[in-house]
Structure 1
C-alpha cells in the first residue's frame, strides 16, 4: 500500500510526464530494484545511462529534500564562537575612599632619589602623602610633627621624589609607574594632597582624597603605631 507522492502537500513537484507516482509505505517493496542496481554496479555498467522506475525517483527526491532541510537547520542553529561581538563588561563605579578601609596595601615598589626600588610595605606603619599634584609643604610638616614614634611619613611624587621641607623627617619617594594613584582611582589635585594611612600589618586604616588639614586624619594617626 502506498500513497500518492507527487500530489501530496509539502513534497517537491515532479515532471507531469511521470504520471501519478506512488511511494511505497514499505521500503522492502523496492528490494528487487535495489538488487538490480547492485548487480549493474558490480558488472561495471553503473556509468551507462539507465532508466529509473517511476516509483524510485520520488524516494530519491524526497531523501535529497530531507537532507537539504536538515543541513540548513544545523547551519542556522549550530553555535559558533565567532558569531557577533560580545558586549564589553560594564565597568563598575570607582571605589570611594571609605571603601578602601580594611583593604590590604598593594605591594608596590617605589623609587628613591637614586632610582633604587623601595618596597612600600617595608615602611609600615606609615602615612603616605601623595604630593604629585601639590607639594604642599605645610601639610607634610604637620604630618611629621603629629606622627607618633615608629610611624613613617612618606611622600610620593609622580616621577622622582620631591625634596621634603628642611628639618622634617620624611621619606621622599617617586612612583614613575603611577601604581598608587591607579590603585586609589583618585586624580591628582593641584591644591591638595591625598593621604593614605596603613598599619603595621599592611591594612589600610584611612584614605583622605583631599587633605584640608591634619585634623582630617589626626585621630587615626594617633593610634597607627599600636
Structure 2
C-alpha cells in the first residue's frame, strides 16, 4: 500500500501544483505507467528520425552539383552581352588617337642610350620597323618646318637615316603597342605631336608626306 510523499516526515517539499503524490510500496505497481512512458519515448524518437536532415555526404554532393552547373553557365554565357568592367575594349583607331598625349616612352640611340620621346617635341615620328623607305623619310625631313624634330624609329637598333633625321630604335616595342598598328612593308607609320605633347595626326601607312603639309606646318606654332 502506498503512502503520500508530500506529507511524509523527512522527505523534501514537492511543488504544491503536483497535488498529493503517493509512492507505492511495491515498485511493480508502476509497470503500466513505465510502459506508457516507453511508448511515448519510442514515438518521439520515430518522429525525429522521420524529419532528420540529409546526411553530410548528401549535402556535399548537392553543393558540388550546383557549383558545376554554375561554372558551366558562366562559361557558356554569351560573351557579346558583356558590357561591364570586364568587357573587351576594342583597339583605338588612328582618329581616336588624335588629341591624346604622347606616351612617356624612352627610345634608344646608336649607343643604346635612352632618349625620352617627349623630349623631342614638336616631333614627326616615322616608324620604319616594317619598311626602311628612305625616300619617304627624306621627304618628311624636307617637308618639316624649322624647329620640328624628325625621328626615324626602327625595332632593334637605329637604321641609317638621311640628313636632318635622328635615327632611334624602340627595342621594347612600346610605341607600336601604343598605336595598336601593325608594321607594314609598303610604307612607314607616321605620328605627329605638337610642342605640348598632344598627338595631332596618326597615319598607319604614309604614301606621300606632302598630303599632310597642313598638319606639318601647324607643328611649328
RMSD of Structure 2 on Structure 1 (CA): 3.1
The answer on whether the counterparts of 1:208 and 1:217 sit within 8 Å (CA) in structure 2 is: no
The answer on whether the counterparts of 2:143 and 2:210 sit within 8 Å (CA) in structure 1 is: no
| Long gaps (5+) in structure 1 | 1-49
Give TM-score, length-normalised by structure 2. Answer: 0.68
Please name the residue that 2:43 is paired with: 55
- 1:109 alignment partner, one of 106, 110, 115: 106
Please name the residue that 1:197 is paired with: 192
- 1:219 alignment partner, one of 196, 214, 220: 214
**Structure 1 residue 131, shift from structure 2 partner:** 0.6
The answer on whether the counterparts of 1:131 and 1:156 sit within 8 Å (CA) in structure 2 is: yes
**Structure 1 residue 160, shift from structure 2 partner:** 0.4
The answer on whether the counterparts of 1:160 and 1:175 sit within 8 Å (CA) in structure 2 is: yes
The answer on whether the counterparts of 1:198 and 1:206 sit within 8 Å (CA) in structure 2 is: yes
The answer on whether the counterparts of 2:151 and 2:168 sit within 8 Å (CA) in structure 1 is: yes
**Structure 1 residue 59, shift from structure 2 partner:** 3.0
- 2:180 alignment partner, one of 182, 185, 190: 185
Change (3 A) 1:216 1:90: farther
Give TM-score, length-normalised by structure 1. Answer: 0.67
Q: Distance in 1 between matches of 2:157 and 2:45?
A: 87
Change (3 A) 1:67 1:187: same
The answer on whether the counterparts of 1:126 and 1:198 sit within 8 Å (CA) in structure 2 is: yes
The answer on whether the counterparts of 1:208 and 1:216 sit within 8 Å (CA) in structure 2 is: no
| Long gaps (5+) in structure 2 | 1-37, 80-85
The answer on whether the counterparts of 2:101 and 2:197 sit within 8 Å (CA) in structure 1 is: yes
- 2:118 alignment partner, one of 114, 117, 121: 121
Alignment of 1:55-94 (within 5 A): 55-64=43-52, 66=53, 68=55, 72=59, 76=63, 84=71, 91-94=88-91
**Structure 1 residue 139, shift from structure 2 partner:** 1.0
Q: Which runs of structure 1 show a deviation greater than 6 angstroms over 4 or more consecutive aligned residues?
A: none
Deviations 1:43-91, CA, capped at 9 Å, x for gaps: xxxxxxx998322212321342x3659x8499639x97xx638658564
Whichever of the two has the greater Rg, that structure is 2
Change (3 A) 1:193 1:54: same
